[in-house]
Amino acid sequence: MLDTNTLNNYRNAGSIAAKIREEAKKIVKEGTPLIKICEKLEKKIISEGGKPAFPLNISINNVAAHYTSPPEDKTTVPPRALVKVDIGVHVNGFIADTALTVSVGKVGLELVKASELALEKALKTIKDGVKSSQIGGIIEKTIKESGFKPISNLTGHLLEQYNLHAGKTIPNVKTRIGFTLKEGEAYAIEPFATTGAGIVEDSKYSYIYRLASQKTSTQVLSHIAREFKTLPFASRWLVSKFSKKRVEEVIKRYVSTRTIQSYPVLVEREKGIVSQAEHTFIVKKNGCEVTSA
């Protein structure tokens, strides 16, 4: 069971995340610079009383996840596209993770519905004692019945304080081996649907990172540890304090020593278009509380 303070932190984070999700629907429009969307929504998280739990992800068409604007990004929203906006908010380290897919130019509407319906049906099954494999089976069945494929190597995840991926994962497909969800646990669940192969691969680009070791030896690493702890951060978050060249040098050096973990931009293997829907919930005895609703 969660204590009252922890539960309130999760609820507050979820309430802020829901507001940001609604704002995203308004500002993701053709021709808008991605960096403008990222910065506006991240600033709104802070103005609402939270902090970003990770850089705003804004992933277009066959890009499934982990794209956030690098410094000086010139990319804009295309005229016809599916734009996935993945939002993370934390209050005192307790996280809400939610996502939506915006159809620009009214394309891919059935694909968007597939991931949303899979999320809706999965949430209805969640309660203390339900198996993760059962949830994955529901997501897979729903997406396939809609005429698409679930992405099998992307999953939902357990949330803990200052820990975005806390060990347990909820699959988007049925699995033979799983675990039992327990009352009081917090998870993010995120069905991805695609017109492609149903598998994502790493691209050669990374704009999101996480400090993997708290043993810091430089000013930049100390700043990262102090400001973000073990939560993911964006390279563009650092260039307001340090030079772009220094940031690039530090990241390159410490990714090679595994002091910093990189999150490559993930793309669909067959360049299929991808949709995503996501909510955060807390497991209850006879259901769940969706904090990001």
* pLDDT average per 10 residues of sequence, the chain (293 residues): 93 98 97 98 98 98 98 96 98 97 97 98 97 97 98 97 94 94 97 98 97 82 92 95 93 94 98 98 97 97
288, amino acid identity: C
Q: For the full predicted model, state whether its pTM sits above 0.85.
A: yes
* SS3 labels along 120-134: HHHHHHCCCCCEHHH
Count of CB atoms situated within 10 Å of the CB of 87: 28
Nearest in space to 60 (alpha carbons), one of 99, 24, 34: 34
What pLDDT was estimated at residue 213? Answer: 82
Known catalytic residue at 190: yes
Catalytic residue among 48, 165, 223, 227: 165
Known catalytic residue at 223: no
What pLDDT was estimated at residue 12? Answer: 98
Question: How far, in Å, are 5, 10, 12, 94, 202 from residue 162 at the CA level?
Answer: 15, 12, 15, 6, 25
Count of CB atoms situated within 10 Å of the CB of 161: 15
Known catalytic residue at 202: no
| Residues 198 and 253 occupy one common structural domain | no
As a whole number of angstroms, the distance between CA 170 and CA 173 comes to 9
For residue 261, the domain's CATH number is 1.10.10.10
What pLDDT was estimated at residue 133? Answer: 96
Question: How far, in Å, are 59, 205, 230, 251, 275 from residue 24 at the CA level?
Answer: 13, 24, 26, 29, 15
Count of CB atoms situated within 10 Å of the CB of 128: 16
Q: Quote the number of domains for the chain.
A: 2
Catalytic residue among 116, 190, 268, 279: 190
Phi and psi dihedrals of 217, rounded to 5? -130, 0
Catalytic residue among 23, 66, 90, 97: 97
What pLDDT was estimated at residue 215? Answer: 74
| Residues 48 and 153 occupy one common structural domain | yes
Catalytic residue among 66, 116, 140, 157: 157
What pLDDT was estimated at residue 72? Answer: 93
As a whole number of angstroms, the distance between CA 282 and CA 185 comes to 6
Q: Which residues contact 99 (CB under 8 A, 6 or more apart)?
A: 21, 57, 84, 85, 86, 87, 190, 276, 277, 278
Residues facing residue 83 across a β-bridge = 60, 102
| Residues 180 and 56 occupy one common structural domain | yes
| Residues 114 and 29 occupy one common structural domain | yes
What pLDDT was estimated at residue 34? Answer: 98
| Residues 214 and 109 occupy one common structural domain | no
Domain with 227, as residue range(s), is 207-265
Known catalytic residue at 86: yes
What pLDDT was estimated at residue 140? Answer: 98
What pLDDT was estimated at residue 30? Answer: 97
Question: How far, in Å, are 22, 120, 164, 227 from residue 51 at the CA level?
Answer: 17, 27, 13, 10
| Residues 53 and 147 occupy one common structural domain | yes
| Residues 218 and 181 occupy one common structural domain | no
Known catalytic residue at 97: yes
Nearest in space to 73 (alpha carbons), one of 196, 201, 259, 235: 235
Q: Which residues contact 271 (CB under 8 A, 6 or more apart)?
A: 62, 196
| Residues 260 and 283 occupy one common structural domain | no
For residue 62, the domain's CATH number is 3.90.230.10
